[in-house]
Amino acid sequence: MSASFAELIGKTVVVDVDGPVIYLGRLAAAGAEFLTLEDADIHHLDDSGTSRERYIIEARKLGVGANRKRLEVRLARVVSVSRIEDVLEF
């Protein structure tokens, strides 16, 4: 596990991938191929009229609306990972 992921374990994070999906949740583990999130939300942007940024800002304000107890995200698809607290309002 990289040092950058190690400092995020136990934190609520935003995982952006190379597609129209956003993952939000508490980072439980970071392996060689997958990130494991708990109390997580998978949100498909094509299913709503909300922009990626607006959805994340609302989750930061209101909390993550978990729809999965646990999920894994393939690292090969990950574009960025950040703490939800680091998301700035515009």
Say whether 89 sits in a helix, a strand or coil: coil
H/E stretch holding 59? helix 52-62
Nearest 10 degrees: Cα torsion 47, 39, 83, 78: -60
Written out in words, the top-level CATH class of the domain with range 3-80 is mainly beta
Confidence band, pLDDT 50/70/90 cuts, at residue 36:
very high
pLDDT at residue 27, as a whole number? 98
Residue 4 corresponds to which tokens in the numbers above?
């950058």
Work out the average pLDDT over 54-67: 93
The better pLDDT of the pair 51, 82 is held by: 82
* Distance separating alpha carbons of residues 36 and 9, to the nearest angstrom: 10
Structure tokens at 27: 């980072």
Q: Can you read off the two tokens belonging to residue 62? A: 């209101």
Q: Would you place residue 51 in the very low, low, confident or very high pLDDT band (cuts 50, 70, 90)?
A: confident
Token duo for residue 66: 């978990």
